[in-house]
Chain A
Amino acid sequence: MKKEQLLDLYYQMVLIRRVEERGAELYQAGKIGGFMHLYIGQEAVSTGLIAAREPRDRVITAYRDHGVALNCGISANQVMAELLGKATGMSKGKGGSMHMASVEKNMWGGHAIVGGHIPIAAGLALGDQYAGNDNVTICMFGDGATNIGYFHEGLNLSKVWGLRVLWVCENNQYGMGTSVERASAVDEIRQKAEGYRMKNAAVNGMDVMAVYEAAKEAIAYVRTESQPYFLEVNTYRFRGHSMGDPERYRKAEEVKKWQENDPIGIFNKYLLDKKIASRKALDEIEARVEEEVQKAVEFAEASPEPALEELFTDVYAE
């Protein structure tokens, strides 16, 4: 990967972190409603994955989607505006935190029913297969989603029909407050793909380069072999499941231990150690992000509320 691309990955990860930190503040201030699930700690996963796609490859994810949206090229302005429910959000304020999507950026949501988007992802790939192209659909979901029926129906269908889907399980160790070993018969989630004779691998999700390399290989396999592939990415969310999480299910020491493996810190060190970037260059990126996010907050706050007539639009196309 070229130096500019590497620095861009760093920029994206810092952007996600900063957008979400500001988002959390706005949530506490009562400017963002509903549920909000932060991606902080997991930035390397979608950053590495989406860097490995071609623009024609589709992305679909669960409700922890702000980072994925930014990685897909949706602007911080639009993400922030959607969080605030403004008319300038990509879904005109009708979707909110859990339903970020941009057809233009080939990002198909943002889905809030656990595992619900898994068969839909198979459908996106089915649409491409039917159209006769070799686009790949990247479908991300949490470890918790692998225990629900939708997951198994979707995986089975993708194998039976040879659909081009890269299934990505973001194993952040907990489905809400229930740990993997308390909820899943197998704690190494990728073993579930074995049951569908699906090629699979596991990768360290705190290392953006490792995720990128694994995704690159997996996408190439999916595209050329016309077969699904299952990638388990081991990661950790530093914040609670959602904004109102008392975190009774894990100890502060455990969180602290994972935070020592901060994906941004790891990548920062990598860039410095490999002499890809100077500390000054990285500081400049962080300052640029700070400014961009500040502008995004101002943009979102200054944006209009959706018009009341919007209540009745988009229910039907006809």
Chain B
Amino acid sequence: MTKITMREAISQALMEEMDRDPAVFILGEEVGVWGGTYAVTKGFYDKYGPQRVKDTPIAENAIIGAAIGAAMVGQRPVAELMTINFAFSAMDYIVNQAAKLRYMFGGQFTLPLVIRAVGGGGRQLGATHSQTPDAIFAHFPGLKVVSPGTPADAKGLLKSAIRSNDPILFIEHATMYQVRGEVPEGEVLIPIGKSKVQREGSDLTIVTYCKGLELSMKAADELAKEGIEAEIVDLRTLRPLDMEPVLESFKKTNRAIVVEEGWKSYGVGAEIVSRIYEEAFDYVDAPILRVAQKEVPLPYNRTLEQAALPQVPDIIAAAKEVLK
């Protein structure tokens, strides 16, 4: 095991898959000569050349539309959206085309397409560049939505995503590229659609993913100092959603909170809470609470921005509340 950053993990996954399969290529804004806005594809252009690392115009419909077309005829494009906020420009291609074409044409072809998108707030980018709209995309059957919270998962899940024959939205967090974590040497493949217990505990269950995992781990350490042991289930994939580890944990702890960075209304937490109530109602000892973003467009000012985003103390408070 070596410790590497999230950025290195994602970069390694891309490079390993490009080396393994000549059908894999990258396209997006500033992925080539610039080296990627978040430097994930630094060095790729020199190594693979313009044929496999394609700088595109600033035209999200063309980027995702062209990636879909190339995937339909058997290539394996990895399209990068500079930020997930630009996915709204390409919404038709993500939810109306990628998610539906295979079904609508009776399964005549596959769509081996990965869309990498950087999401999340906390970098003072203002309301239009700071969103965590993961739940919107997870709403659509036909699309798979993956969002890792550790470097090892990022590497293993991205490699699996590139090898998958389905369209996958792979959401990374803008503030997590420097997060370091242990990644096994050699081939790392993690199956899409499997949640994972990232920390064991017996007092309550924290269900989370991506940035929420980083915050929840910190909160769990604080809670442990007070003798409260939280079990943390990391969803890793939002669709298809693997509830098994969540339900198994909840049946043990009987108390849970859900931590997500997106807005609470109609969010990931709403889905998880409903599922627990539907599938494990007899095990509920306290109302399940959600920790999420305040219901406002994210402001620029740092203090206001941090006040709107879920924080470690919010998680600790919610955990204590469900344990009352």
Taking a contact as CB atoms closer than 8 A, the residue among A109, A315, A317 that contacts B141 in the complex is A315
**Interface residue range, chain A:** 35 or more
Q: Which of A30-38, A88-96, A210-218, A272-280 contacts B (4 or more CB under 8 A)?
A: A88-96
**Which A-chain residue is minimally distant from B96 (CB atoms)?**
A113
Contacting pair A127 B69 (CB below 8 A):
yes
Give the A-B pair count, Cβ closer than 8 A. Answer: 137
A315 contacts which chain B residues (CB < 8 A)? 102-103, 141-142
Tell yes or no: A162 within 8 A of B by CB.
Answer: no
A156–B66 Cα distance when bound, in Å, is: 12
**B5 contacts the other chain (Cβ, under 8 Å)?**
no
Q: Are A116 and B92 in contact, CB atoms less than 8 angstroms apart?
A: yes
Smallest Cβ-Cβ distance to B144: which chain A residue: A316
**Min C-beta distance of B104 to chain A, whole Å:** 5
CA distance A188 to B64 in the complex (A): 29
Interface-facing stretch out of B105-113, B204-212, B245-253? B105-113
| Nearest-Cβ distance from residue B126 to partner chain A, whole angstroms | 24
Interface size class of B (residues with CB under 8 A): 35 or more
Residue ID in chain A nearest B239 by CB atoms: A316
Q: Is A313 an interface residue (CB 8 A)?
A: yes
In the complex, residue of chain A having the shortest beta-carbon distance to the beta carbon of B25 = A130
* B residues less than 8 Å from A314 (CB atoms): 102-103, 106-107
**Are A119 and B62 in contact, CB atoms less than 8 angstroms apart?**
yes
Contact A95 B106 (CB under 8 A): yes
A33: min CB distance to chain B, Å: 15
Interfacial chain B residues near A116, Cβ < 8 Å? 65, 92-93, 96-97
**Which chain A residue shows the least CB distance to B101?**
A109
Give CA–CA (A181, B107) in the complex, Å.
40
In the assembled complex, the Cα of A124 lies from the Cα of B97 at a distance in Å of 14
With A92-B106, A130-B25 as known contacts, state yes or no: A153 contacts B69, CB within 8 Å.
no
How far does the Cβ of B91 sit from chain A's closest Cβ, in whole Å? Answer: 11
* Residues in A lying within 8 Å of B, measured CB to CB: 58, 89-95, 99, 101-103, 108-110, 113, 116, 118-128, 130-131, 149-150, 153-154, 156-157, 160-161, 313-318
- Write the residues of chain B forming the contact surface with A, with a CB cutoff of 8 angstroms: 25, 51, 54, 56-57, 59, 61-62, 64-75, 92-93, 96-97, 101-111, 141-142, 144, 164-166
Listed from nearest, the 3 A-B pairs whose CB atoms lie closest are: A123-B69, A119-B65, A314-B107
